[in-house]
């Protein structure tokens, strides 16, 4: 004879639903956890430049010891740019730069 299932008033997935609701209530916690785990996705920045600059970046990549991607050189340049603006040496005025870059 076939075994009968027990009837209950409790849903099996109820605990999972409650946990999901907690995460929905606090999306900043979820985002912070992803950042800590290294799950932050990179975002594309479109950068059109003069052909000479493009050529020099390509040559730097090909002449680097480990064939460093151009993206790594550009990331380094942007980090240097942020430091320059924090020192107050940037060409353009940016309001509240301390708060923007210190976070």
**Euclidean distance between the first and final Cα of the chain, in Å?**
66
Say if residue 80 is exposed, middle or buried (CB neighbours under 10 Å; 0-12, 13-18, 19+). Answer: exposed
Answer whether 64's CB lies under 8 Å from 77's CB: no
Could you read off the pLDDT of 34-43 as tens digits, one per residue?
666 766 678 8
20 — pLDDT class (breaks 50, 70, 90): low
**Per-residue pLDDT tens for 53-62?**
999 999 999 9
Entry pTM: 0.57
């Amino acid at each position: 004879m076939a075994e009968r299932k027990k009837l209950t008033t409790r849903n099996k997935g109820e605990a999972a639903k409650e946990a999901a609701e907690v995460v929905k209530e606090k999306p900043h916690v979820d985002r912070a956890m992803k950042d800590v785990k290294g799950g932050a996705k990179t975002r594309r920045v479109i950068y059109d430049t003069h052909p000479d600059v493009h050529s020099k970046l390509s040559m730097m990549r090909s002449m680097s010891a480990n064939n460093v991607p151009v993206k790594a050189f550009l990331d380094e340049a942007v980090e240097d740019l942020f430091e320059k603006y924090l020192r107050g040496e940037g060409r353009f005025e940016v309001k509240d730069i301390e708060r923007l870059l210190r976070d």
